[in-house]
Amino acid sequence: MTRNTAPTPGFDQQLRDALRPGAAPDDLRRSLLRAAGKRRSRWTWPALGIAALLMVLLGGGTWGWMVHGRGQEGPRLGRAAIQMFREAPRMAFTAEASGPDSGEQGRRWSAQAAGFSAALPKCLAGQAMKGGCVCDMEACRAVCYYLQDGRAIYVFDRTLRGLPFDSDQPRRIAAEGHRAQAWNENGRAYVLVEPPGWGGQG
Amino acid sequence: MDLTSESLVEAHLDAVYAYARAKLRQEDLARELVQRTFLKAFEKLSQLRDALAARGWLLSILRHEIAMEFRASARFEVWDDEAFENLPGPEVDETVDPSLLAALPAALDRLPEAARSILLLRYQQELPYDQIGSLLDLPLGTVQSRIHRAKAALKAAMAEEGISVKGGVV
């Protein structure tokens, strides 16, 4: 055993130095900061409550309108997804794999292209996809995957108000002859759009 | 201090991501679970009373997400007392040659999951013993002895990697 001339830190400090965290990926940070920016601080809701009380006291119906508007966010964006599906935007990503691997391929692509990792919901796990694109609807970012069976699933970068958290009982939306199901799951909102006459299991 | 979602990301993302990356060893999965963790934290932010406990709180959400991901797997963090029973505890202030620390991640990877976890919580996340105890649902004395044993296991793993840990001053 030799003795160094320079003092060495204890093993605890060496462990701390060796395990010190590096920087998280920039796109992950940007995505989370974007999601954080859309949320309100803990004092905003009490402030809104006071504002609402004032409005009620003043006899205005504005508060009711605001609550209604916020509660309709999910269905409104569900209809926006149907509209986008009808416009059939060009695919920015084409799956090279044809089977269930295409889902994993899409998830990896979305992390780079959309800034968040958009996995398929549990009910579509293993579903083959043709490709996808990134869409911005109102202040939300979503990834659209076109499935091999003709449907499309929109994966939003956060949950949407007014949608259930139970994927077995999704909110059903109909517009422009198309049907969609929308729900929240694992911190994301999903809108599954079916083309007219789609006869598969929805 | 009024803790906001943004300040949570700015202050803790690097550390929480590092923990996820070290635990899961898969970048994609680490990103996914860290993202889920923060999105859930944003929703529950009003439940966090003490800003100083934010790191432990985020890690508890992340650990729940990891447990959900691996719920079908029995390998998740089982502390095997027998495996650690015969390991000598490391001496106070013992050091390793700094030039050999580059091999430490590989040695850490050889450790059982529970030992890796407790070392990461203590030395990467720099959580105090009481917060580690809350996270792992362990009494303080058990936390201390497990950290002690985990370091001994790390020492043994480093020895197997060809790195010798010397007692006292090197």
Q: Where are the domains of chain B?
A: 5-69, 81-166
Highest mean pLDDT of the ranges A16-20, A47-51, A110-114, B38-42: B38-42
Which residues, 6+ apart, have CB-to-CB distance to B73 below 8 Å?
none
Task: Tell me the whole-structure pTM to 2 decimals.
Answer: 0.53
Highest mean pLDDT of the ranges A61-70, A98-107, B13-22: B13-22
CATH code, B5-69: 1.10.1740
Determine, for residues A39 and B15 on separate chains, whether the beta-carbon distance falls below 8 Å: no
Q: Does A8 touch chain B (CB under 8 A)?
A: yes
| Whether residue A161 has pLDDT greater than 70 | yes
pLDDT in tens, A8-23: 467 888 888 888 888 8
Q: What is the pLDDT of residue B143?
A: 93
| Encoded amino acid at A76, one letter | R
A3-7, A95-99, A167-171, B35-39, range with the lowest pLDDT: A3-7
CA distance B169 to chain A (A): 7
In CATH, which of 1.10.10.10, 2.60.120.1030, 1.10.260.40, 3.20.20.210 is domain B81-166? 1.10.10.10
Hey, what are A172's tokens? 């059903």
Determine, for residues B36 and A186 on separate chains, whether the beta-carbon distance falls below 8 Å: yes
Nearest-angstrom CA–CA distance, A53 and A66: 13
Determine, for residues A17 and B101 on separate chains, whether the beta-carbon distance falls below 8 Å: yes
Q: Does A12 touch chain B (CB under 8 A)?
A: yes
Q: Could you state, in order of their start, the residue ranges of all structural domains in chain A?
A: 48-194
Q: What is the pLDDT of residue B123?
A: 92
Q: Does A70 touch chain B (CB under 8 A)?
A: no
φ and ψ at B71, to 5 degrees? -60, -25
Q: Does B100 touch chain A (CB under 8 A)?
A: no
Comparing B157 with A1, which gets the higher pLDDT?
B157
Q: What is the pLDDT of residue B40?
A: 92
When CB atoms are compared, the residue of B22, B31, B170 closest to A117 is B31
> Could you give the C-alpha distances from B29 to A12, A115, B1, B19, B138, in angstroms and in order?
29, 15, 33, 12, 27
Residues in chain A: 202
Mean pLDDT of A42-64: 62
| Whether residue A71 has pLDDT greater than 80 | no
Q: Does A110 touch chain B (CB under 8 A)?
A: no
When CB atoms are compared, the residue of B5, B90, B123 closest to A19 is B123
ipTM of the complex: 0.79
Highest mean pLDDT of the ranges A62-71, A94-103, A165-174, B138-147: B138-147
At CB < 8 A and 24+ separation, what contacts does A99-102 make? A99/A128, A100/A125, A100/A126, A100/A127, A100/A128, A102/A128, A102/A129, A102/A130
